Amino acid sequence: MRNPQLNGDGKLQHLLTIEGLPREILVHILDTAASFIGVTEREVKKVPLLRGKSVFNLFFEPSTRTRTTFEIAAKRLSADVINLNITVSSSTKGETLLDTVDNLCAMHADMFVVRHSSSGAAHLIASHVAPHVHVINAGDGRHAHPTQGLLDIYTIRHYKKDFTGLSVAIVGDVLHSRVARSLIHGLTTLGAPDVRVIGPRTLLPTGVEQLGVSVHHDMREGLAGCDVVVMLRLQNERMKGPLLPSAQEFFKSYGLTPQKLVLAKPDAIVMHPGPMNRGVEIDSSVADGPHSVILPQVTFGIAVRMAVMSILAGN
C-alpha cells in the first residue's frame, strides 16, 4: 500500500501523520523551520513563498492556538488565508465533509489545513482532492497531529541537540491523544532510544508498547532520569467517569509537581501542547518555572508550520 502522503517521487504531497515518514523528510522539515525562525524575529515578518496561494483553515473542531498559528504561518508566507469554523456552519446544515471540500476546491483552494474530531478525516480529504491540492492534518480524532509532533521534536532538538541518548516521558491521557501518537512516531523515527508513556491503565491504549515505548503506571518511576517531560492535556469530560474518579486524584497520581520533577535530570525540559489545565496535569510552579519550554513551543510551532506549508507548496 503506497503511503498516501507521498507523491510518485517520494516527496511530501500531504502531511497527514508522522508515522511512516522517512527520517530525511522529518529532518528537512526541522531544518527548514530553523531557517524560518529568523523571519519570525524580523521586523518585516514576511517571505513571498506562498504569494497568490489560498490556504483554507478548515476547522470542524474548535481550536484557538493551532488555528491561529497556522494562520500566522500562512500569512508570513504571504498566502491568502480563509478561516472556516465548520462546527457552526455547514455540518449543522447537513452538508457532508466531502461536499464542503468540493465546494472549497471550486473556489480554487491550494491547501487545506484540516482539524476534525474523527480519526482519518484528513486521509479521506487527501484521497479526494485534485493532485495539485495539499492537505495538512491539524488534528484528526485520536489519530494524529503531525505539526504538533514536529514542533515538539523541534523543541526537543533545540534544547537537547541530539536524540540518540535521550529519555522522553509522555504523561497522562495517551488513549485519547493524537499529540502523543505523533510525538512517539517522531521520536522513534529520529532514533530516541527511550520513550516512556506514563498514566493509569484506563488512559493507555491497548498494545501501546507496540508503538515502541515502555509503559509506566508509577509516575515517579517513569520520570526517573529523563531528559524531557511531555504533559498531555486531560479533557474536562474525562475527569469524572469510567476512566477516572476525579481531577484531584489524577493530579495526585499524575500531575507534574516540583517534587516529582526533581526525579528527572536536572536540566530536564517540560513541555505541554496546550491548553493547560493548571492543577490537573501540571502545577503552576512547574508550568511557569525554569524547566518549562511551553511558550517557546508555541513560537517554534509557527516556524514549523511555515516549513511544512512551504515544503508542500514546493513539491
Partner 1 sequence: MSKVHIKNGRVIDPKNRVDAKQDVFIAEGKIAALGKAPAGFRAERTLAADALVVCPGLIDLSARLREPGFEYKATLASEMQAAVAGGVTSLACPPDTDPPLDEPGLVEMLKYRAKSLNLAHVYPLGALTWKLGGERLTEMAVLRDAGCIAFSHADTPLSDTQMLWRALQYAATFGIAVWLRPQDGFLARGGVAHDGEVATRLGLPGIPAFAETIALATILQLVRATRTRVHLCRLSTAEGVAMLRAAKKEGLPVSCDASAHHAHLSEIDLGYFDSHCNVIPPFRSLRDRDALRAGLADGTIDALCSDHAPVDEDAKQLPFAESEPGVTGLELLLPLALKWAEEMRVALPEALAMVTSKPAAILGVPAGDIAAGRDADVCVFDPSAQVKITADSLKSQGKNTPFIGYELPGRVRYTLVGGQVVYEA
Which residues have CB under 8 Å from 239's CB, separation 6+? 246, 247, 250, 280
Q: Determine, following the binding rule CB under 8 A, whether residue 123 of this chain makes contact with partner 1.
A: yes
Report the residue number, 76 or 181, with the smaller CB distance to partner 1. 181
Per CB under 8 A, contacts with partner 1 among 136-195 are 140-144, 178, 181
Report the residue number, 157 or 181, with the smaller CB distance to partner 1. 181
Q: How far is the CB of 146 from partner 1 (least distance, A)?
A: 12
Report the residue number, 2 or 266, with the smaller CB distance to partner 1. 2
Q: Which of 201, 156, 183 has the alpha carbon at shortest distance from 17?
A: 183
Out of 72, 82, 98, 276, name the contact with partner 1 by CB under 8 A: 98
Q: How far apart are CA 157 and CA 142, in angstroms?
A: 25
From the list 21-29, 33-41, 96-104, 292-300, the region that binds partner 1 by CB under 8 A is: 96-104
Q: How far apart are CA 164 and CA 251, in angstroms?
A: 31
Three-point CA angle 183, 22, 131, nearest 5°: 100
Specify the residue for cell string 491561529.
68
3-state SS string for 62-110: CCCHHHHHHHHHHHHCCCEEEEEEHHHCHHHHCCCHHHHHHHHHHCCCC
Q: Determine, following the binding rule CB under 8 A, whether residue 129 of this chain makes contact with partner 1.
A: no
Out of 13, 19, 223, 231, name the contact with partner 1 by CB under 8 A: 19
Out of 68, 80, 120, 274, name the contact with partner 1 by CB under 8 A: 120
Q: How far is the CB of 195 from partner 1 (least distance, A)?
A: 15
Q: How far is the CB of 61 from partner 1 (least distance, A)?
A: 12
Per CB under 8 A, contacts with partner 1 among 100-119 are 116, 118-119
CA distance readout (Å), 200 to 170, 205, 250:
12, 10, 9
Q: Determine, following the binding rule CB under 8 A, whether residue 53 of this chain makes contact with partner 1.
A: no
Report the residue number, 57 or 137, with the smaller CB distance to partner 1. 137
# residues near partner 1 by CB under 8 A: 27
110 touches 51 (CB < 8 A): no
Q: How far apart are CA 11 and CA 21, in angstroms?
A: 10
Per CB under 8 A, contacts with partner 1 among 195-214 are 205-208, 210-211
Which residues sit at the interface with partner 1, rule CB under 8 A?
1, 4, 19, 96-98, 116, 118-121, 123-124, 128, 140-144, 178, 181, 205-208, 210-211
